[in-house]
Each structure stands twice: as C-alpha cells, then as structure tokens.
Chain A
Amino acid sequence: MPSTTTALKHRIGSVRNTRQITKAMELVSASKMRRAQEKAKLSRDYQIAAYDLLARLSSLKETQIHPLFTRRQVRSRLYVIITSNSGLAGAYNYNVLKAFTANISSDRTKGIVSRVITVGSKGAQFVRRLEGVELMAVYPAFGDDSSSNDLWPLLDTLIELYRSKSIDEASLVYTIFVSNLKQQATVLDILPAQVQEEEDHPVYKYSFTNFEPSVDVVLESVAARLLEIQIWQAVLESLASEHSMRMVAMKNATDNANDLIDDLQLAFNTARQSAITQELAEITGGAEAIGQ
C-alpha cells in the first residue's frame, strides 16, 4: 500500500517541522524570561524605597487634600489591563481578562461605570466585544527593550483622567510572576495614591521632617514617580510571566509533537511491513502458479 506509507511519511515530516518551531520558541522564551526577570530585579530596590516613601507620605495630613491622593465617591473606575500582542502563551491573556471580568460584574451591581485602557492588542480585542464597558485607549504591549520612558504617555493620560474627574479610581490588572511555574493574575489599586499601612510592615512616621520647598511641590513630583514605578514593575512582571507561560505552552506542544511522531512512526512501520508481506505473498503465489 504505497499510498498509505507516503501519506504517513508526509505527516511525520510536517509534525517534525512543527516540533522544530515549537522547540525554538520554547528556547527563545526561556532566554527572554531570564532577561525580563533580571530587569525586574534591577528596579526592585527603587520600588521598595518608593513604596515606603508613599506609605509615609500617606500618613501626613497634607496629602489628604492633594488631587492625586484624595478619596472621593466612586462613580467610575478605570482598569489598566496589561496583556500581550501575540498569542500562543497558554492561559496568559485569558487569566488576566478573567480577573478583569470578575471585577466589572461586581462594579455593575454597585452602579459604577467601568472604563478600560489596555496595553497589548489581545486585551483590546476582548474588551471591544464587551457591552457596557468603555474602551478609552489601546497601547501596544511594551516589548523586551522598552524603557520606563515609554510609560509616560500612558501615565499622563491616567493622571489627566483622574484630575479631570473622568475617573474616581484606577486599578492595574496584570500578572504577578511568582515563580517559573506559577504566575498569578491580580488587580492592584493605584489611584488614589493612598497606601494603607500593613500590619507586618509598619511605617516610620514623620514627626519633624522638613519638606523643601513645600509639601505640595514634593508631593507633585513624588506622586507621578511612584505611579510610574508601580506600573513599570507591573509591566516587567507581566513580561516575565508572558515569556514563562509561553515557554511552558511551547514545551507541552513539543512533547505532544513527540508523542504524535511516535504514533505515526508506528503506523508507518506497520503499513510498510504489511505492504512487504503482501508483496511477498503475491510473488510466492505467482511463482507457485508458474511451477504448476
């Protein structure tokens, strides 16, 4: 049966090609993940120092009246959703969007309007189809070589929306990189820029600290910077998670391709052997017919 064996041969060849691609993608993602992790590590001290500063500032009376720190009645909430531009990353985008939809349904029962800014086109594709959610802006996903300066357009929009009272609260929806095998979608409130004191992490309160030139000027400069670092850290964590999840997804695909090749090879061998046996039977049958 030559037609079956050639067909099987073709299939084995094409699965092998696919395996080659998934294997390459796995390796690329692994090295990109390491790079993203290292990048996240570099800004960690800065982030911790900035967060401490913010927590201490939150305890001051003066911060309560600053535009970026005041709490007001929530009528509309903005979600900044960090997703990827490309797929084939397992449940990466799905998990983030699931965390987001769980939040908007609870908002809806409270009568809060949900607005969305997405980072990455996958998130935008999803949000566009949702009803009752306003998609305000779409930013392309931040790539591996992006710097914190690339955040400024997003940051400016965010601050402008908050100051003009178009939004009363803002949250980041992103993926925390827990370990190479565990990534968790999470929602983090970023505006108003108030930090609640945590029990396991008491903050050092200012009793007689001087502010130069004034508290307002310091707050003005600090608030935007602290927002920036929080978003930046979220971007880096998401990036590391994306690569890690893609790596695992591609590893699974490679394993599946291996199994498939084994099965096909077995089927191919069986088909070839039966073809040979049949041919032999025909030859011996023919020889016997001549001999008689």
Chain B
Amino acid sequence: MIHFQLLTLSGNKFDDDVYEVVLPTPDGQIGVLQDHMPLITVSATGVISLRRQPHDPDSKMDHFATYGGVIEVSDNNLKVLVDEAEHSDEINEAEAKKAMELAQKMKAEAKDQTSLEHAQGLIDRSSIRLRVAGLKHRTHR
C-alpha cells in the first residue's frame, strides 16, 4: 500500500492508503504502486485515478479531474499538489456539457491569439471534466 495525499488550495481532496494511483504527466500516464522509486515530476491536465484494494475492479476506482501541479513520491508517500481537483461525484455532467459548448463557441468567435488560447484552455478543461463524468457513468451501470 502507498499513502496518497491529494492537496489543493481549497482543501485536501484525498488522504488515505491506496493500492495504486494512475497520474497524468506531460510524457504520458504513470502508475504508482508500493515501493515506487523517489520521483518528482510535473502533473499535466488530466485524470487521476486510484484503486484502493488490489482486487478492486476498474468500476470501483475513484477519478479526479486536475489541471496541472506537482507530483512527489518518496518513502511510500505520494503527494500531489494541484490548484484544483474535482472528484467525479462533484461534476455535473449537464453543466460541464454546457460549459464545453460555450467554450467552443468562444473559440469560433475568438478574434486574437489571447482569446483563442483562453478558449482552448477552457475546452481542454471541459473535456477533462466530461471524461471524468463519463467514467462515473460506467461505474454506476
């Protein structure tokens, strides 16, 4: 087991022993299990998934949408520092869809580089949230 802490500016989202955590990094996804080597890396925008017990099926995994931060592994402790993290239960799918449509409209109407980048950022965000919300669906079926 490895101790996993998900720390954000608006509180600690997760703090417990888990079997496995899958994290998004700029170079792709990494899985962290017990006795992982000491590591410091950057977290990318994406989905953090965790399995509490070794034999838990995928449907029992927890998922968080995150938008970048720092990952630190040392001594069977995994600390993830991110500005924001949303659990799949916290995401309202209908709302996320609406935000996505709005962002796409903004991108289509963007006149300069800054507003284009801003819109693209919103689209990336919304697509992660939708993905996490979708994972929840599969779990409940």
Main SS of the interface on chain B?
strand
- Asked whether B41 is an interface residue with its Cβ less than 8 Å from the other chain, the reply is yes
B79 within 8 A of A: yes
Question: Does B110 sit within 8 A of A, measured CB to CB?
Answer: no
Q: How far is the CA of A209 from the CA of B39 in the complex (A)?
A: 5
- Complex contacts, A288 vs chain B, CB 8 Å: none
Complexed CA–CA distance, A229 and B11 (Å): 13
Binding site of A, secondary structure by majority: helix, strand, loop or mixed?
helix
Query: Contact at B39–A210, with CB atoms within 8 Å?
Result: yes
- Residues of B51-72 at the interface with A, using a CB-CB cut-off of 8 Å, are 68-70, 72
Residues of A within 8 A of B37 (CB): 208, 210
What residues of B have a CB within 8 angstroms of the CB of A43 in the complex? 8-11
Question: B9 touching A213 by the CB < 8 A rule?
Answer: no
Given A53-B70, A212-B27, A225-B70, A218-B9 contact (CB < 8 Å):
no
Assess whether B81 is interfacial by the CB under 8 Å rule. Answer: yes
Say yes or no: A209-B38 contact (C-beta < 8 A), given A45-B12, A46-B7, A49-B5: yes
Tell me the bound Cα distance from A212 to B32 in angstroms.
14
Contact A217 B7 (CB under 8 A): no
* B69 partner residues in chain A, CB cutoff 8 A: 221, 225
Nearest residue (CB) in B for A50 is B81
* Chain A: interface size category: 20 to 34
Residues in A whose Cβ lies below 8 Å from that of B38: 206, 208-210
Min distance, Cβ A163 to any Cβ of chain B, angstroms: 20
Instruction: List the A side residues contacting B72 at CB < 8 Å.
Output: 49, 53
Q: Is the CB of A49 within 8 A of B25?
A: no
B11 close to A42 (CB less than 8 A): yes
Residues of B within 8 A of A206 (CB): 38
CA distance A226 to B10 in the complex (A): 15
Are A49 and B81 in contact, CB atoms less than 8 angstroms apart?
yes
List the 3 shortest-distance A-B pairs measured between CB atoms, nearest first: A212-B41, A209-B38, A42-B11
Enumerate 5 A-B pairs (CB-CB under 8 Å) in ascending A order: A45-B12, A46-B9, A53-B70, A208-B37, A225-B69
Binding site for B on A (CB under 8 A): 42-43, 45-46, 49-50, 53, 147-149, 204, 206, 208-213, 217-218, 221-222, 225, 229, 232
Knowing that A49-B79, A221-B68, A221-B69 touch, tell me 20 more A-B residue pairs with CB under 8 angstroms.
Answer: A45-B5, A53-B81, A148-B9, A149-B83, A206-B38, A208-B37, A209-B39, A209-B40, A210-B38, A211-B39, A211-B41, A212-B25, A212-B27, A212-B39, A212-B42, A213-B41, A218-B40, A218-B70, A225-B70, A229-B9
Q: Which residues of B are in contact with A by a Cβ distance under 8 Å?
A: 5, 7-12, 25-27, 37-42, 68-70, 72, 74, 79, 81, 83
